[in-house]
Copies of this chain bind each other. A is one copy, B any other.
């Protein structure tokens, strides 16, 4: 793969996650200025509103020019893949041809100098459950005699999530309270969550929507997807275990969820598509979840990582430590299948809607995307290199999720989502 070079030096270094081949979107502000749409390049953010005002999009469509001047990505998301392609092509030209440097460079600001915000207004958030390895390992903990339910290999299982409590990377949050019931007691009690967990997920943003009652065909599904982010679906396992039957998880999920600032466009992922395959023993998908394109390139090779930095590590200036790795290509269901399934009943999706991939765990136990799996439901603590032990997340822990595609020579990154857990309310109602 020949690597296109930018006139911006920081975009061409070997360890750069934001080369020309990436161009992820974000919403940011600097020095109390208004929120702007930005595109990441090297260690900089390009302010799209300033690029537009500099006349660099004058020959693009009026709707596209208007959309990049907004303070959220929703209008751009709603324009569709042709317009996203036109903008990406223009940005690639502006950032690679040296003659644009003089006019473009004043529209850059260092990433280190900005504050990131949620990239769009998230109307609805749905969380899938696409890792069969996660479903099997968690199922074995909750239902030892029946780990993988009969519908799993037919239905891309998902539930409606809470949009209001989704925040951007960097925000700290309080340990939640809720009803907890231990097996030894015959009644629950209100208390602070004792089994706080992360979930290593991709966030998938809908671009163009559909009309109520009109399903999206699997072969058109990805044209409705704007891009992907890192997503942590924070979970209170003890609250979940008591509340989740028969209608699914509720307060165990709605206290806080977090997104990385960057949305990597689907176009950037093109070189990392791969075959989506099933085990010979697995059923083939129903027709509405099947297509030749989905089979040959439905999966995506995205490397995922979980890191932890405890309060003690910070106090001792120790670096964060990696807890696990996995890969989105091991997902049992693809992005196109998620979108086709979500709309098969006529449900309407809208620009800015978020789909969580579900916890991405690989086939090996050490490729688990949650502590619930890594510690066998809290029964087998893990020991960190400084001697600290963890069964679940403790106050002061910072959890960092990262994702990237490629190798040491060619890499594009999704950035990271990181949050510190604070102690909960000391005076419960």
Residues of A within 8 A of B (CB): 123-124, 126-127, 129, 139, 142-143, 149, 151, 154-155, 157-165, 167, 173-174, 176-179, 181, 187-190, 212-213, 215, 217-218, 236, 239, 242-256, 283, 286-288, 340-342, 344-350, 353, 425, 428-429
Contacts and interface: CB of A to CB of B under 8 A. Distances in A.
Nearest to A175: B346
Contact of A429 (B149, B215, B248, B428): B215
Given A158-B247, A243-B155, A429-B340, A167 B236 contact: no
Given A151-B188, A159-B160, 12 more contacts: A123-B123, A143-B246, A157-B250, A160-B160, A160-B161, A160-B253, A164-B347, A164-B353, A177-B346, A189-B286, A215-B429, A288-B429
B246 A248 contact: yes
A277 B218 CA distance: 51
Contacts of A177: 215, 344-346
A129 B176 CA distance: 23
A429 B348 CA distance: 16
B123 A160 contact: no
B345 A251 contact: yes
Contacts of A340: 429
A283 to B, nearest CB: 7
Candidate in A162, A189, A349 with the most chain B CB atoms within 10 angstroms: A162
A160 B158 contact: no
Given A162-B347, A164-B349, A346-B176, A157 B254 contact: no
Interface residue SS majority, chain A: loop
Nearest to A174: B213
Contact of A256 (B149, B212, B248, B428): B212
B162 A160 contact: yes
A242 B181 CA distance: 28
A277 B239 CA distance: 26
Given A246-B149, A287-B429, A173 B213 contact: yes
A245 to B, nearest CB: 5
A165 B342 CA distance: 12
B346 A174 contact: yes
A188 B341 CA distance: 14
Candidate in A212, A253, A353 with the most chain B CB atoms within 10 angstroms: A212
Contacts of A254: 160, 345, 347
A251 B289 CA distance: 15
Contacts of A126: 162, 250
B124 A164 contact: yes
6 contacts: A154-B179, A160-B160, A163-B163, A179-B286, A189-B286, A252-B345
A325 B383 CA distance: 60
B190 A250 contact: no
Contacts of A174: 213, 346
Contacts of A176: 345-346
A157 B246 CA distance: 8
A312 to B, nearest CB: 25
